[in-house]
Structure 1
Amino acid sequence: MTTFSTRRWILSAGLLALLAGCGDEAANEAPARPAWVVQASAQGAAPTAYAGEVRARHEPALAFRIGGKIARRQVEVGQRVKAGQVLAELDASDVALQREAAQAQLVSAEADLALAKSELERYQQLLGQQLVSQSLYDARKSQYEAAEARVRQARAQARVSVNQAGYAVLRAPADGVIAQRVAEAGQVVAAGQTVFVLAEDGPREVAISVPEREASLFPVGRPLSVELWSLPGKRFPGQLREISPSADPQARTFAARVAFQPGDAAVDLGQSARVYANGGDTGLMAVPLSALHAKDGQPALWVVDPADSTVSLRPVQVGAYGESTVPVTAGLQAGEWVVAAGVHLLREGQKVRPIDHQNRPIPLAAAAD
């Protein structure tokens, strides 16, 4: 019995070992998972368009330097003006009264100076005859000097009052077009409150808003292209001139200005335009959105090794997301193969069977050679 039990136990152990070996061999020889792969290429990085508006490079806000009630408004929005042209006037009655008061103070100060001068001359003669003391003469001299100072003060105040009267008239600082009117006749405005916005003649620009996630891709000087709505299909070369260092608190976008040279084309203020950010994307790799995965919270791609068709997860840096593709700014080389679908089912070092979108096999090694 003992010998029979021993033989039976040895036979069972052998069968189990044989089955285990067959299982490992079957596991090792499991067919590779088919995977749709694409080759990273600089082609197909679609340009991104940003809606904008044609603006003047210099748009000063015009305001009175003194406060008061607007008596007359001389121009309308869209009207062309010349440098020095009167745009609006304040009610100058109070300013005129202040000027008259300053002139009266000047006349009074000059009369006091004349009296102090005559007194000083008389005391100087009496001092020479030793009829007055030196202290009385010094007192008259001090009064004369004080009268001189009051005259200088009154003259300065009179000049200020004249300037204030001139500030009651708002004039255009340069040639241009009235782009905006903020105040109306009869309105009381404070000093420095905007009344008009002037679009000065000169270079024209396109004002756009750059989303927060794309602001890092817009360095100053980046080449761009501009297309006017009035001239569809014709693009003008442009360049990013400036971008705001802070985002708008409500829209969370960065205001940017694109300078361009329209040539002989008629460009009017307020025209609609599109800015295409395709001037600097020629070196970027583009992959389908479905190829993106994540590694430690960062974008990553499953890259296929052409030698043995195994995959490895590689962190990358991406740009602005498009409708179906995303540009890869760092971490991927041109010509490398990445898995484009089913990325959540893969594991590190897994062997795959590369296929294209029509389920046809792709010989990666031959393609690499």
Structure 2
Amino acid sequence: MRLMLILLSIAILAFQACADEFSVHSSEVDDRKAVIATVEPVHLLLARARIGGTIIRVKVKEGDRIAAGAEVATVVDEKLALQMQALDSRIRSQQAQRDQAKIDFDRVEELRRRGVSSQMQFDQARTTLDVADRTAAAMRSDREVIMQQAAEGAVLAPGAGRVLTVPVSEGRVVLPGETIATLAEDNYILRLALPERHARFMRAGDQVLIGARGDQTEAEGTMRRGKVRLVYPEIQGGRVIADVDVEELGNYFVGERTRVYVATGKRDTIVIPADYVYRRAGVNFVRLKDGTEVVVQPGEARPDGVEILSGLTDGDVVARP
């Protein structure tokens, strides 16, 4: 029994010794570069005036969220009201002429039935009545056109989103097609501008890491991830433009800049668990298996440990301090 306990203790100590050792091997990792990305809406929507006139009401302000089809402002053209009044008078006059033409037609039809009126008089009366009916219908159509123009004075949001700018005010005269409000769709993206030497490494579907906002600290394991949705085929000013999809970017400001880490190739490096590195007197050390202390230069933190830039070589065995 005592011998078994001794053997078990030796096995546990040997296992702990192996567990506290780490064999150093170089591995291939993504060579990531930090670039600046700008938060942009996928589509920038413009609410435009469809008719010219005077703005009598503005219903939104910068920062408001509105739904698709919501009324942004109201534009009124006073000439449309005058045209409507004039057309109503013409319609009433034409209706009176049509009523008289109907009376004349009924009289000629009755006389023709009795054999007193001729076929020519009957045809003439019927033609006069048809012309009066068609003229009245045309005037009613013109009235509907004016009513539609007046209804188009309501400036509607072309889509759901957040109002960025409202460059007009009540009482201002606007022309057809003039911008009343600029809206950003709720779906935001990150727009990158990479040096053209990195163009051959960037592909749609690649993963990127999103840095922390402002002066917040960041580590690769805690950074948000995004996916490249589109790489534009044109180089502008020596830069490659790419769009990145990231979930829940709605709390960012449009135009806000943030750090993004993109892969620009592969490189060989040494990565060891972070708890094998200890610091003393401002210097970073690791302990080899034989007890020797080696000064190392740590690099960026990774999910599986910390990168070692110098101090270790492939094949070294380090011990947990």
TM-score normalised to the size of structure 1?
0.54
Task: Give unpaired runs (5+ residues) of structure 1.
Answer: 1-40, 288-369
Partners of 1:127 and 1:137 within 8 A in 2: yes
Partners of 1:228 and 1:272 within 8 A in 2: no
* Distance (Å, rounded) in 1 between the aligned partners of 2:90 and 2:230: 52
SS of 1:69's equivalent in the other structure is: strand
* Distance (Å, rounded) in 1 between the aligned partners of 2:92 and 2:189: 55
Do the aligned partners of residues 67 and 44 (structure 1) sit closer, same or farther apart at CA in structure 2, a change above 3 Å counting?
Answer: same
Partners of 2:74 and 2:155 within 8 A in 1: yes
Farther-moved stretch of structure 1 (152-161 vs 42-51): 42-51
Please provide the CA RMSD for this pair: 3.4
1:137 to 2:122 alignment? yes
Aligned to 1:180: 165
Cα deviation, residue 178, structure 1: 0.7
Aligned to 2:175: 190
List aligned pairs for 1:273-288, cutoff 5 A: 273-278=258-263, 284=265
Aligned to 1:236: 224
The letter of the residue matching 2:154 is V
Aligned to 1:205: 189
* Distance (Å, rounded) in 2 between the aligned partners of 1:106 and 1:243: 60
Partners of 1:70 and 1:90 within 8 A in 2: yes
Partners of 1:212 and 1:247 within 8 A in 2: yes
* Distance (Å, rounded) in 1 between the aligned partners of 2:174 and 2:139: 29
User: What does the per-residue CA deviation read over 1:24-58, in whole Å, with 9 as the maximum and x for residues that have no partner?
Assistant: xxxxxxxxxxxxxxxxx984653234422333334
Task: Give unpaired runs (5+ residues) of structure 2.
Answer: 1-25, 269-321
Aligned to 1:346: none
Aligned to 2:48: 63
Do the aligned partners of residues 219 and 147 (structure 1) sit closer, same or farther apart at CA in structure 2, a change above 3 Å counting?
Answer: farther
TM-score normalised to the size of structure 2?
0.61
The letter of the residue matching 2:188 is R
Cα deviation, residue 84, structure 1: 5.1
Do the aligned partners of residues 215 and 133 (structure 1) sit closer, same or farther apart at CA in structure 2, a change above 3 Å counting?
Answer: farther
More strand by share: 2
List aligned pairs for 1:301-320, cutoff 5 A: none
Aligned to 1:105: 90
SS of 1:267's equivalent in the other structure is: coil
1:148 to 2:148 alignment? no
1:258 to 2:207 alignment? no
Cα deviation, residue 113, structure 1: 2.8
1:88 to 2:73 alignment? yes
Partners of 2:46 and 2:158 within 8 A in 1: no
Cα deviation, residue 260, structure 1: 1.6
Farther-moved stretch of structure 1 (118-127 vs 178-187): 178-187
CA radius of gyration, larger in: 1
Equivalent of residue 253 in structure 2, options 269, 283, 286 = 269
Cα deviation, residue 83, structure 1: 4.9
Aligned to 1:117: 102
User: What does the per-residue CA deviation read over 1:86-113, in whole Å, with 9 as the maximum and x for residues that have no partner?
Assistant: 4222244223223333333333333333
The letter of the residue matching 1:117 is K
Which has the higher relative contact order, 1 or 2, with Cα contacts under 8 A spaced 6 or more apart? 2
The letter of the residue matching 2:210 is V
Do the aligned partners of residues 159 and 225 (structure 1) sit closer, same or farther apart at CA in structure 2, a change above 3 Å counting?
Answer: farther
Do the aligned partners of residues 44 and 90 (structure 1) sit closer, same or farther apart at CA in structure 2, a change above 3 Å counting?
Answer: same
The letter of the residue matching 1:120 is F
List aligned pairs for 1:291-302, cutoff 5 A: none
The alignment of Structure 1 onto Structure 2 pairs a total of residues equal to 239
* Distance (Å, rounded) in 2 between the aligned partners of 1:259 and 1:85: 27
Cα deviation, residue 65, structure 1: 0.6
Cα deviation, residue 66, structure 1: 0.7
Do the aligned partners of residues 253 and 68 (structure 1) sit closer, same or farther apart at CA in structure 2, a change above 3 Å counting?
Answer: farther
Partners of 1:42 and 1:285 within 8 A in 2: no
1:226 to 2:210 alignment? yes
SS of 2:164's equivalent in the other structure is: strand
Partners of 2:228 and 2:244 within 8 A in 1: yes
* Distance (Å, rounded) in 1 between the aligned partners of 2:90 and 2:239: 57
